[in-house]
Amino acid sequence: MTARDVAESLYTAFANSDGGVLAGLLDRSFTARVSAGMPLGVGGAVPDPKTMLVNVWGAVSVEYDVAPYPEEFVEVDRERVIVFGAYRRTARSTGNHFEASFVHDLSVRDGKITSLVQVTDTKPWHDAL
């Protein structure tokens, strides 16, 4: 399974709001970096999969009905892929629609994501609230 295959599974899980699949895609050694300036205080270093699932993705899903939509996959090698795309949908409290560009740098080992670096335009996230 290539990094792109795993990345495509990740975006499908987000599109289907499938937390079980999301959790299953993260390696026990998973770490992440989320863009500084993200709302809800979720930006910064993420030390493990549980923190990502609960304190980042979970916190975001409470406030936003959102999913990442990939537009381009750049395969670095079998274990790394860079994904360009946009987060789209609405803030739950306001109903305001938004779109925020992103770049995800995903590293994969044995069919699991070992690291994710997220770079996104944080202004649309804040504006939607």
Q: What is the pLDDT of residue 73?
A: 98
Q: What is the mean pLDDT of the chain?
A: 97
pLDDT band, very low/low/confident/very high, at 67 (cuts 50, 70, 90)? very high
* Boundaries of domain holding 37: 3-128
Q: What is the pLDDT of residue 125?
A: 98
pLDDT band, very low/low/confident/very high, at 76 (cuts 50, 70, 90)? very high
Q: What is the CATH number of the domain that holds 105?
A: 3.10.450.50
Percent of the chain with pLDDT over 90: 99
* For residue 115, pLDDT beyond 90: yes
SS3 85: strand
Residue 22: which of 40, 7, 2, 34 has the closest Cα?
7
pLDDT digits (tens, 9 = 90+) for 77-91: 999 999 999 999 999
Q: What is the pLDDT of residue 1?
A: 86
Rounded CA gap, 54 and 47, in Å? 12
* For residue 124, pLDDT beyond 90: yes
Give the largest CA-CA distance in the chain.
41
Rounded CA gap, 92 and 25, in Å? 26
Residues 67, 15: contact at Cβ < 8 Å?
yes
Give the number of domains in the chain: 1
pLDDT digits (tens, 9 = 90+) for 10-37: 999 999 999 999 999 999 999 999 999 9
Q: What is the pLDDT of residue 114?
A: 98
* For residue 2, pLDDT beyond 90: yes
